[in-house]
Amino acid sequence: GTFVDFREGGAEGSRMAREACASAVILGRPSAPAADPSELDEILSVADGIALSSLTDVGYAAAEKAAHSAHAAGRPFAIHCSERIREDIDAILSLEPAFLVHMCEASDSDLRKCADAGIPISVCARSNRFFGKVPPLRRMKECGCTVAMGTDNAMLCTPDLRPEAALFREILGMEDADSWIWECMTVGSSELLNRTRGIHAYKREVEYAVLPLGGTGPESAWYSAERVPFL
């Protein structure tokens, strides 16, 4: 398997991630918002693409420059969006992102625009909850969004989608949404990776994961993850 990492620390951070895990999809982040083209080029010489924290953090001009560098190199560009406050979805979609992350404060109109544009949304429910946010999963589902599961910061959450799926169900409060949750866990994540195809880390082979059951029924697999203490 693989994972997508928004790697901080400029080119050096991306280089360290590549050495640690050659199969990872590394989306590098400039060391400062106002990155010059040479730093962006250096990041792209190591990473698979570029990802930014948010439009609010870096400003449109810097985001546009980063997106242009990624697209010119034939690499994906991704960005966090509307995590803490609602952001301008039209400005963000004009950057042609491969996918967005969070969308906690998105309006229905924002979500429909993402759905219409075919832009997947990676939702990191446990991380959102830690910061007092609740992702609008029901509205995402109703608006026809392609949703993938993410785990966000490893300092806060283990890189395991099972507890993410369990929290999805808690947030939705709908037993008839179980099939959609499985879809987010599998198809949505695959669609997100498909948006990065062409990079060396992408593989077309079908991969399988065997999950232990925590009880009866397939959904019990979501509750089978061991609790990991943080010391």
Sign, CA torsion 32/33/39/45:
positive
Q: How far apart are CA 151 and CA 163, in angstroms?
A: 9
Judging by DSSP bridges, how do beta strands 121-123 and 147-149 pair with one another?
Answer: parallel
Structure-token pair, residue 94? 């004009």
* CATH 3.40.718.10 for domain 4-223: no
Map tokens 């698979």 to a residue: 48
pLDDT digits (tens, 9 = 90+) for 58-90: 999 999 999 999 999 999 999 999 999 999 999
Is residue 55 within 8 Å of 45, Cβ to Cβ?
no
Higher-pLDDT residue of 173, 50: 50
pLDDT of residue 84: 96
Indicate whether 197 pLDDT > 60: no
CB-based contacts of 34, cutoff 8 Å, min separation 6: 62
Higher-pLDDT residue of 226, 36: 36
Domain residue extents for the chain = 4-223
Map tokens 């989306």 to a residue: 27
**Own/partner pairs, 48-51, CB within 8 angstroms, 24+ separation:** 48/75, 48/76, 48/196, 48/199, 48/200, 48/201, 49/25, 49/75, 49/76, 49/77, 49/78, 49/98, 49/196, 49/199, 50/75, 50/76, 50/77, 50/78, 51/6, 51/7, 51/27, 51/77, 51/78, 51/79
Indicate whether 36 pLDDT > 70: yes
Instruction: Look over the chain and give the mean of its residue pLDDT values, rounded to a whole number.
Output: 88
